[in-house]
A = this chain, B = another copy of it.
Amino acid sequence: MKQMTIGRLSKAAGVKVTTIRYYESINLMGVPDRSTSGQRLYDDEAVQRLSFIRHARDLGFPIDSIRDLIDLQHQPGEDCAHVDAIARRQLANVRLKLSQLEALEGELKRMISACEGGTIASCKVLESLSDHGLCLDGHDAKGLSA
């Protein structure tokens, strides 16, 4: 299979059609060939590249880091220290979020287990939320909302 449409690429790499077009619009995926009627045509290299992107996204790498990683891939003679640094930075980010989430989990658990039913007026959960300064002093939970 030499050339494929965006739908086939989408299935091959496990990335939605709209997302592929989005990646093209931000220059993360290159500009593909077009059929005479204007449809995008991709080759196997595009599958490779898109799979790489998808895997990196699954691991939480931001788009900019992925761009860097792809650039680096095309300089095979270079030292891989830079790649390593990007991965380590990502690991550090993940660990930071982990520790923040663990703190949140602890507090939520504590809050919920304090609640013994009853009315709003006596609700320990709302009490905990109203009492400021109980926990997590100083740091916040940016990007952790759900």
Residues of A near any B CB (own CB < 8 A): 13-14, 48, 51-52, 54-62, 69, 72-73, 75-81, 83-84, 87-88, 90-91, 93-98, 101-102, 104-105, 107-109, 111-112, 115, 117-123, 125-126, 129-132, 134, 136, 140-141, 143-146
Contacts and interface: CB of A to CB of B under 8 A. Distances in A.
Given A52-B129, A59-B129, 10 more contacts: A59-B141, A60-B144, A60-B145, A69-B129, A76-B120, A79-B120, A80-B117, A90-B146, A94-B101, A97-B146
A120 B85 CA distance: 13
A interface majority secondary structure: helix
Taking each of A75, A77, A95, A105, which has the highest tally of chain B beta carbons within 10 Å of its own beta carbon? A105
Nearest to A47: B132
Contact of A119 (B80, B90, B94, B101): B80
B97 A52 contact: no
B146 A143 contact: yes
24 contacts: A48-B130, A55-B131, A57-B140, A58-B141, A60-B141, A69-B129, A73-B120, A73-B126, A76-B121, A80-B117, A80-B118, A80-B125, A83-B123, A83-B125, A83-B126, A84-B112, A84-B125, A87-B115, A87-B125, A91-B108, A91-B112, A94-B104, A98-B98, A143-B146
